[in-house]
Amino acid sequence: MRGGVLIAPVALIGCSGPLSTLQPGGATATEIAWLWWVMLAGAVALTMMMVVLIAMAFGAPRDTGARVWTHGMGLAFSLVVLSATLGAGLWVGERILPRDDGAVEVRARAFQWGWRFTHTDSDGNPVETDGLLHIPAGQPVDVLITSEDVIHSFWVPRLAGKLDAIPGRTNRARISADAPGTYAGLCAEFCGLGHARMRFDVQAHDTWPPALPDESEAP
């Protein structure tokens, strides 16, 4: 499990938690977490460089050429760093996009203030659940997201980035969980009085479709 590589050091410094993007539980979230750690390292190095450059300015005046600063550092250096960052971002972005590969599809409908999810059972019938989304573990899942009223946002930080639930539109998000278990999710777009409590869970199953006890099936 690739996620495990991160979890060990991360837990030590207190970055773990049920909603932590730094404790990824699936391929997409893991890729983004790596992107973050690399960018953080770069940002720390750049900040140190700037601090040193400014500290060195305090001293006797130096005979320094303008082009070194404006063209060399301002243009060339920043373009190199930024291009590398942009390239990495686009590469990761392309890898985690939903693609037409027959992934399992589930539906999420947001409303003020809650979530109603739909997956397909073994007979091909839709099963509606309130506040709990069932997905298979170990494979990509596409969530078709929409909203019944205002704009909400579907976010399971340990599985993937967020995607907005917009009335009148359906958005497709790809998530994946490496292991069976429960992953916490929430509404990330401010949606009024009940926003803070608009939570849900994602249950990843080894067997798919899952055999659910009757009481969890909402009419």
Total residues at interface with other proteins (CB under 8 A): 85
Q: Which helix (H) or strand (E) holds 218?
A: none
Per CB under 8 A, 132 contacts other proteins: no
Among 17, 126, 207, 216, binds other proteins (CB under 8 A): 17
Give residue 32's Cα distance to chain centre: 7
Contacts of 161 (CB under 8 A, 6+ apart): 28, 29, 32, 155, 173
- Given candidates 6, 7, 27, 32, which one binds other proteins under the rule CB under 8 A? 32
3-state secondary structure of 119: strand
- Sites for other proteins among residues 175-204 (CB under 8 A): 184, 186-193, 195-197, 199
Cβ–Cβ < 8 Å for 160, 3 = no
Question: Structure tokens of 106?
Answer: 């589930």
CB of 121 to other proteins, least distance (A): 28
161 is a site residue for other proteins (CB under 8 A): yes
Contact window for other proteins (CB under 8 A) among 72-80, 119-127, 130-138, 208-216: 72-80
Query: Which residues ranging from 139 to 158 are in contact with other proteins (CB under 8 A)?
Result: 149-151, 153, 155, 157
Q: Are 96 and 174 in contact (CB under 8 A)?
A: yes
Closest to other proteins by CB, 119 vs 174, is: 174
Binding segment for other proteins (CB under 8 A), chosen from 67-75, 103-111, 119-127, 209-217, is: 67-75
Q: How far apart are CA 120 and CA 97, in angstroms?
A: 23
Within 10 angstroms of residue 69's Cβ, the number of other Cβ atoms is 12
Q: Is 89 in the site for other proteins (CB under 8 A)?
A: yes
Indicate the residue among 124 and 168 with the shorter CB distance to other proteins. 168
